[in-house]
């Protein structure tokens, strides 16, 4: 069943547009009506014939849209309102073109499948550039191109690229629409798929446009799918200009410019200038049986369990005792110092762009529960009943793989792409909390860093102080996953899980972390966790998933001053019996999970020293001193 568009035009916030005669001078012109009174909202300047177009009172925005239209030469321009009627029309249009495929509407109402180009299935870090005036400001952690060279390259690609296509103007807000910590952006794209996803992922439309017009500043994002040619694919960031340009990809991380491009690469630059932190972190509230809720922000590389942890369901006996979990966000966190000396966090996103494989009733029941309606799936398989399917979901054998070919299980090939995704509004999550819309944000008691390490890293470890915690974050290492192109399973340094996302030199980024910490009277405690320790047979030692609440309980007790810790040269660890194993089918080898392999750590610090040296002379002296302190204590 297709979505119904109704008979009225898109409406939002009491504002209605209507098309006016095309015989008027200049481009197609629209009037706005409110309260029965009509009048032109703004003069039209674009020489191209446009349809379905709202205009703006912000001259800078109007001129930018006009200049992009002159460069890309679209057939028509559509200003997105974010309304349900508009979305229904978009969905129907994509069903007609085949960009979306309708799934089983009896089991998955308003759910659709998108199959991307087989060569366009993940972020392309090697084609992602930070374009600062000075190369050293981008740092060794980024691919750099001069702004002049980047603009010349991108102008050539964008020239005429939207001929015969619709140019969509997407005004959006990252964060609660009334939050002083929210930031604004406008993405121009020729992809209706991007529009539909941005509607779920951001506060998109007329309300965002109104705030943009009030404040007068916004991040500019220009995107075109181009020819989907891997040799003509670039994602350029101009942090000094608050601008993003992306060409040649339709994949979410490369095309949904409000997400990693704006909310991390550009926002991290904004955050440094304005005194806050833009981080690749989930935000989750843990409520104990006494009704006290403490909020945690946690950084993990993509596909390492952030969504699972953000939507964790307390295991028995915790659930029966009254423990609850409140999901604020699963991927991005903006942290601002509060007047009380604490850090407060908002989730700039409004939805989830989650990894489908591995999501099941065993790993993340909350995520699965929100995917049976109003969701967009990308590159998953489908069953013979036309339902979405991916590995680890259940024991059914799908009919078609992610490319739409008949699936043959005897070949050993995967049915769903390992980086297949779902897009869904955060309000559909059973553990969603209204605190996600709190304009002040939520107070953070603990910051957690984690990654995939088969050896060395203990199950949980507390930093001595903010400087040591910053060091642990800067030294983070994790095995790579399918969320980015390249070889999977390689251990690489991924500071604060921000290696693909920090918009400036890591040395300056770590210095900014230290500066923020110095200004906090009551900083969060910082911890490191590793759910992925393996035994000699290669099996995971810790059960993970919902059982991770057992580790969070100790972390929160440490934040409240209600638990002891053992000092070691690398950090503070719990006693093996400090983490409850009651109710587990089998008791994990806690001695191995919490061991401190000093020779192994000595070798680790040698590698960390080389890692920090890459960012010299901008590496903060405090981090080098911390490394020397740990090395001295290890002996």
Note the pLDDT tens digit of each residue in 137-162.
999 999 999 999 999 999 999 999 99
Separation CA 181–CA 183 (nearest Å): 7
Structure token pair of residue 505: 């030199």
Task: Classify domain 352-422 at the CATH class level.
Answer: mainly beta
Alpha carbon 480 to chain centroid distance?
17
Separation CA 454–CA 466 (nearest Å): 26
Structure token pair of residue 143: 């691919």
- Split at pLDDT 50, 70, 90, the class of 21 is very low
Mean pLDDT of 408-429: 97
The pLDDT tens digits for 180-230 are 999 999 999 999 999 999 999 999 999 999 999 999 999 999 999 999 999
The pLDDT tens digits for 339-363 are 999 999 999 999 999 999 989 999 9
Q: Give residue 20's pLDDT.
A: 29
Judge whether 107 and 385 are in contact, CB under 8 Å. yes
Alpha carbon 286 to chain centroid distance?
21
**Given a cut of 90, is residue 490 above it in pLDDT?**
no
CB atoms within 10 A of CB 3: 18
3-class DSSP assignment, residue 589: coil
What does DSSP assign to residue 123? Answer: B
Judge whether 404 and 140 are in contact, CB under 8 Å. no
**Given a cut of 90, is residue 10 above it in pLDDT?**
no
Mean pLDDT of 529-548: 95
Of 70, 87, 89, nearest in space to 188 by CA: 70
Which residues sit opposite 187 in a β-bridge? 170, 221
**Given a cut of 70, is residue 9 above it in pLDDT?**
no
Q: Give residue 304's pLDDT.
A: 82
Q: Which of these ranges, 43-52, 135-144, 148-157, 561-570, has the smallest mean pLDDT?
A: 43-52
Q: Is 425 exposed, middle or buried (0-12, 13-18, 19+ CB in 10 A)?
A: middle
Average per-residue pLDDT for the chain: 91
Place of tokens 């691919």: 143
The pLDDT tens digits for 246-255 are 999 999 989 9
> Could you tell me the CA-to-CA distances from 111 to 38, 92, 183 in Å, in that order?
38, 12, 30
Separation CA 569–CA 620 (nearest Å): 21
Q: Backbone phi, then psi, for 66, in 5-degree steps?
A: -60, -40
Mean pLDDT of 570-574: 98
Separation CA 482–CA 302 (nearest Å): 9
Q: Give residue 54's pLDDT.
A: 59
**H helix count then E strand count, the chain:** 17, 33
> Could you tell me the CA-to-CA distances from 115 to 228, 336, 339, 359, 484 in Å, in that order?
13, 38, 47, 19, 18
Place of tokens 């790993």: 363
**Given a cut of 60, is residue 11 above it in pLDDT?**
no
Which residues sit opposite 382 in a β-bridge? 388, 400
In b/e form, how buried is each residue of 496-533, taking b as 16+ CB within 10 angstroms? Answer: bbbbbbbbbbbbbbbbbbbebbeeeeebbbbbbbbbbb
Phi-psi region of 422 (alpha: psi -120 to 50; beta: other; left: phi over 0): beta
- Split at pLDDT 50, 70, 90, the class of 40 is very low
Active site residue ranges: 304
Q: Give residue 34's pLDDT.
A: 28
> Could you tell me the CA-to-CA distances from 564 to 336, 472, 575 in Å, in that order?
29, 21, 8
* Inter-helix orientation angle 621-634/506-518, to 10°: 90
The pLDDT tens digits for 167-181 are 999 999 999 999 999
3-class DSSP assignment, residue 189: strand
Separation CA 279–CA 73 (nearest Å): 37
Of 429, 297, 419, nearest in space to 351 by CA: 429
Place of tokens 């991007």: 194
Place of tokens 């911390």: 626
**Given a cut of 50, is residue 42 above it in pLDDT?**
no
Determine the topology of domain 278-351+432-634 in CATH. Answer: Phosphoenolpyruvate Carboxykinase; domain 3 (3.90.228)
> Could you tell me the CA-to-CA distances from 216 to 118, 211, 366 in Å, in that order?
40, 8, 39
**Given a cut of 80, is residue 283 above it in pLDDT?**
yes
Q: Do domains 17-27+39-100+124-275 and 352-422 have the same CATH topology?
A: no
In b/e form, how buried is each residue of 457-487, taking b as 16+ CB within 10 angstroms? Answer: bbbbbbbbebbbbbbbbbbbbbbbbbbbbee
Which residues sit opposite 567 in a β-bridge? 572
- The larger pLDDT score, comparing residue 98 to residue 49, is at 98
Separation CA 308–CA 282 (nearest Å): 10
Q: Give residue 485's pLDDT.
A: 54
Mean pLDDT of 267-282: 98
Q: Give residue 488's pLDDT.
A: 61
Proportion of the chain in helix, strand, coil states, percent, rounded to 5: 30, 25, 45
Name residues whose C-beta falls within 8 Å of residue 454's C-beta, 6 or more positions apart in sequence. 479, 532, 533, 534, 538
Name residues whose C-beta falls within 8 Å of residue 515's C-beta, 6 or more positions apart in sequence. none
Pairing state between β 491-493 and 76-79:
unpaired
* Inter-helix orientation angle 621-634/598-613, to 10°: 160
> Could you tell me the CA-to-CA distances from 198 to 82, 179, 229 in Å, in that order?
9, 19, 23
Query: By percentage, how much of the chain surpasses pLDDT 90?
Result: 87
Structure token pair of residue 119: 């060569």
Q: Give residue 55's pLDDT.
A: 81
- Split at pLDDT 50, 70, 90, the class of 305 is confident
Alpha helices in 436-505 (DSSP H): 466-474
**Given a cut of 50, is residue 18 above it in pLDDT?**
no
Q: Which CATH superfamily is domain 17-27+39-100+124-275 in?
A: Phosphoenolpyruvate Carboxykinase, domain 1 (3.40.449.10)
Mean pLDDT of 267-296: 98
Q: Backbone phi, then psi, for 82, in 5-degree steps?
A: 85, 5
Structure token pair of residue 305: 């369990």
Query: By percentage, how much of the chain surpasses pLDDT 70?
Result: 91
Nearest-5° Cα angle at 150, 205 to 245: 15
Separation CA 176–CA 530 (nearest Å): 32
Structure token pair of residue 200: 């779920």
Question: What is the domain partition of the chain in residue ranges?
Answer: 17-27+39-100+124-275, 278-351+432-634, 352-422
Judge whether 196 and 202 are in contact, CB under 8 Å. no
**Given a cut of 60, is residue 49 above it in pLDDT?**
no
What does DSSP assign to residue 25? Answer: S
């Amino acid at each position: 069943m297709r979505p119904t568009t109704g008979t009225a035009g898109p409406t939002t916030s009491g504002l209605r547009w209507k098309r006016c005669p095309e015989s008027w001078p200049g481009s197609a012109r629209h009037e706005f009506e409110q309260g029965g009174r009509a009048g032109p909202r703004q003069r039209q300047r674009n020489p191209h014939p446009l349809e379905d177009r709202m205009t703006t009172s912000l001259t800078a925005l109007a001129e930018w849209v006009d200049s992009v239209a002159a460069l890309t030469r679209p057939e028509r321009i559509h200003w997105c309102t974010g309304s349900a009627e508009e979305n229904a029309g978009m969905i129907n249009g994509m069903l007609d073109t085949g960009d979306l495929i309708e799934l089983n509407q009896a089991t998955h109402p308003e759910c659709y499948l998108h199959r991307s180009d087989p060569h366009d299935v993940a972020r392309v870090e090697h084609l992602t550039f930070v374009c600062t005036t000075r190369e050293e400001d981008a740092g060794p952690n980024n691919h750099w191109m001069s702004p002049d060279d980047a603009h010349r390259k991108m102008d050539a690609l964008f020239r005429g690229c939207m001929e015969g296509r619709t140019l969509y103007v997407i005004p959006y807000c990252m964060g609660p629409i009334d939050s002083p910590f929210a930031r604004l952006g406008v993405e121009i794209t020729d992809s209706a798929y991007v529009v539909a996803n941005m509607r779920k992922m951001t506060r998109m439309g007329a309300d965002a446009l109104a705030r943009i017009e009030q404040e007068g500043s916004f991040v500019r994002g220009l995107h075109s799918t181009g020819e989907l040619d891997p040799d003509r694919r670039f994602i350029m960031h101009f942090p000094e200009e608050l601008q993003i340009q992306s060409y040649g990809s339709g994949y979410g991380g490369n095309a949904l410019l409000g997400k990693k491009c704006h909310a991390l690469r550009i926002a991290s630059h904004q955050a440094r200038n304005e005194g806050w932190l833009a981080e690749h972190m989930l935000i989750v509230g843990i409520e104990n049986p006494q009704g006290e809720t403490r909020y945690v922000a946690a950084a993990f590389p993509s596909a390492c369990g952030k969504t699972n942890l953000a939507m964790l369901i307390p295991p028995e006996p915790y659930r029966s005792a009254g423990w609850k979990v409140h999901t604020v966000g699963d991927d991005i966190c903006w942290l601002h110092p509060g007047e009380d000396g604490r850090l407060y966090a908002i989730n700039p996103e409004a939805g989830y762009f989650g990894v489908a494989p591995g999501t099941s009733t065993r790993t993340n029941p909350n995520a699965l529960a929100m995917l049976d309606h109003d969701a967009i799936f990308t590159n998953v398989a489908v069953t013979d009943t036309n339902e979405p399917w991916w590995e680890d979901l259940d024991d059914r054998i799908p009919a078609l793989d992610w490319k739409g070919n008949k699936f043959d299980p005897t070949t050993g090939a995967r049915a769903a792409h390992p980086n297949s995704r779902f897009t869904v509004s955060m309000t559909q999550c059973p553990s969603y909390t209204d605190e996600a819309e709190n304009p002040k944000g939520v107070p953070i008691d603990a910051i957690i860093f984690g990654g995939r390490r088969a050896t060395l890293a203990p199950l949980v470890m507390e930093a001595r102080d903010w400087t040591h915690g910053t060091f642990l974050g800067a030294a983070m290492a994790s095995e790579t996953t399918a969320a980015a192109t390249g070889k999977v399973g390689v251990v690489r340094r991924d500071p604060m899980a921000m290696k693909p996302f920090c918009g400036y030199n890591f040395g300056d980024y770590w210095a900014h972390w230290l500066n923020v910490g110095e200004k906090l009277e009551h900083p969060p405690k910082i911890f490191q966790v590793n759910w992925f320790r393996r035994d000699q047979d290669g099996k995971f030692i810790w059960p993970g998933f919902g059982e991770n609440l057992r580790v969070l309980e100790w972390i929160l007790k440490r934040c409240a001053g209600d638990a002891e810790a053992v000092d070691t040269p690398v950090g503070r660890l719990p006693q093996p019996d400090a983490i409850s194993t009651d109710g587990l089918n089998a008791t994990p080898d806690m001695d191995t999970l919490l061991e401190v392999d000093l020779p192994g750590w000595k070798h680790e610090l040698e590698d960390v020293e080389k890692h920090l040296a890459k960012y010299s002379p901008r590496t903060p002296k405090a981090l080098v001193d911390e490394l020397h302190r740990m090395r001295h204590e290890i002996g």
